[in-house]
Structure 1
Amino acid sequence: MMLVELLKVFDEDYKYVCDETREIIHKKGQWHETFHCWLVDGTNVFIQKRSATKKDFPSLYDITAAGHLLTDEEIMDGVREVEEELGIQVDLSKLKRMGAVRDVIRLPSFIDKEFANVFLYQSTLGPDDFTLQLEEVERIHSVAIKDLQALFRREVENIICSDDTKITLSDFVPHETAYFEAVAEFLDLAKSSGM
């Protein structure tokens, strides 16, 4: 038996409207909440390669860890996504909330309208320190913050990860340009605060 995920539906002003299934929300293009966590380590940021078996955006690169917030969850409960996907224990004192960013992804099969609650996490982990939930995450890559920012700002065509993997923006989940630019700004704050 498959579990039905219930999410909160919001209006354009981020005010709660009702609860609905994830499937209906994506079909109707309704606003809902997600938790996005970017792990940063000094001058690097971690990105994930989504599992090839994922229903949505298989094998594309994305946020270090992210997921939908269920109806009975508050924003900080999204930490479970980091712990589930990456197999690490989150130290809340190292988690910095950056704010909510609107992010809309339109595909023929669904419209994903998110209030993405973006966090940066100060990490001292290496790519081999994660225990990945393989049905969600195929691999974790480390990228120089300045390189990822340049890619997100469309200043370069591609970047090279620490393991020599070459990535272009088309290799990423197709977030809105405004979302990528907001993350690039947040990463500036990470560098200036010594995260």
Structure 2
Amino acid sequence: MAEILTVFDRNMNVKGEKERSLVHLDGDWHETFHCWLFEEKGNETYVYFQKRAENKKEFPGLFDITAAGHVEAGESVLSAGVREVKEEIGTTVDEKDLINMGMFQEELISSTLIDREICNVYMLSILEKLEFIIGEEVTDIIKINLRDWERLLDDDCTCINGTSVLNEKKLSLRKDDFVPHEEDYYRFIITQIAKNVEKL
């Protein structure tokens, strides 16, 4: 059955409902849930990324938000979030453990879609080892050092290291290995995680 999404104008006024495929075709604004997992180890902070499956229509094989998805019409943001985390990385999260990072409006345009998202952004601090069970949409989950990621965005380096949390395999990563979200979005994530680490 087709996914039905609520569509908005840029000012967050509801315009109606539409099938997901048409939303991306027409470039309508719609709500999504983004969840970034992070962990602290000593004085270092690590951010988790999923690797998109090679058969994905958009951005196959690239590293992306730990877990993310659409908020369906009539669905609450947190309900959508818990569902998406379970579907994509096989981890059950409690709504009360999700830290609200705020909202970010992002346009992501490729040859196959016009994706205008009202992103409801959350993060989750990993306090104990989690079990990940990936499905068809995800092929790996890696973690990278938060400051290394920032250095890569700043062009202070051309390559950083990552580690798979599924098999501990080491990876060498460049900017073009990541989904090309707006740079302001990535910097927003880095800033918010760093702020919350200071509070914990």
TM-score norm. by structure 1 comes to: 0.91
2:62 aligned with 1:94: no
In structure 2, distance between residues paired with 1:103 and 1:62: 14
Q: Percent of pairs identical after alignment? A: 36
Structure 2 CA distance, aligned partners of 1:51 and 1:103? 22
How many residues end up aligned between the 2 structures?
190
User: 1:115 & 1:147 partners in 2: Cα distance?
Assistant: 27
Q: CA deviation at 1:126?
A: 4.5
Q: 2:3 matched to 1:23?
A: no
Distance 1:153 1:183 in 2: 14
* Structure 2 unaligned spans of 5+: 164-168
Gaps of at least 5 residues in structure 1 are: none
**Compared CA separation, residues 52 and 125, structure 1 to 2 (3 A):** farther
Amino acid at match of 1:161: G
Question: Counterparts of 1:148 and 1:117 in 2: how far apart (Å)?
Answer: 22
TM-score, normalised via structure 2 length: 0.89
Alignment pair present for 1:166 and 2:172: yes
Take 1:107 and 1:33, find their aligned partners in 2: how far apart are those partners? 19
1:95-116 per-position Cα deviation (integer Å, ceiling 9, x unaligned): 1010111111111221100011
The equivalences for 1:34-73 within 5 A come to 34-42=32-40, 43-73=45-75
Report the equivalent of 1:146.
Answer: 147
1:68-117 CA deviation, whole Å, 9 max, x = no partner? Answer: 11112111112211111111110223210101111111112211000111
In the alignment, is the contact (CA less than 8 A) between 1:12 and 1:31 conserved in 2? yes
Q: Cα distance 1:89–1:36, how it changes in 2: closer, same or farther (>3 A)?
A: same
* SS of structure 2 residue aligned to 1:178: helix
